Amino acid sequence: MHVRHLEILRILRDRGDLSVTELGRQIALTQQAASLHLKVLQQAGLVEVRRVGTRHLYAVLPEGFRPIQALVAEFWSERLGALKVDLEGS
């Protein structure tokens, strides 16, 4: 994942819903660059956009992280299981 994507996700997590312009100001990106990063995150299912009047507000989509959480849990379960076998065999 691109460093800017992580930065955007952290800002949205901490600050809540933001427009492209507001987000761009937070991380010194042009509106066009911020829009491109948000589009990638939206396509990945990690952020959602909703329209409020003429503004488009972006927010973290917690459900989008479930597959990542499952992968990490699976990864650590396998690693810890292997470590346990190694330790018990010693």
How confident is residue 90, by pLDDT bands cut at 50, 70 and 90? low
Q: Over the chain, what HEC string results?
A: CCHHHHHHHHHHHHHCCEEHHHHHHHHCCCHHHHHHHHHHHHHCCCEEEEEECCEEEEEECHHHHHHHHHHHHHHHHHHHHHHHHHHHHC
What pTM, to 2 d.p., does this model score?
0.77
| pLDDT score of 86 | 80
- For the domain bounded by 3-89, which CATH number is listed? 1.10.10.10
Q: What is the average per-residue pLDDT within 18-27?
A: 93
How confident is residue 22, by pLDDT bands cut at 50, 70 and 90? very high
For the stretch 48-74, pLDDT in tens is 999 999 999 999 999 999 988 888 888
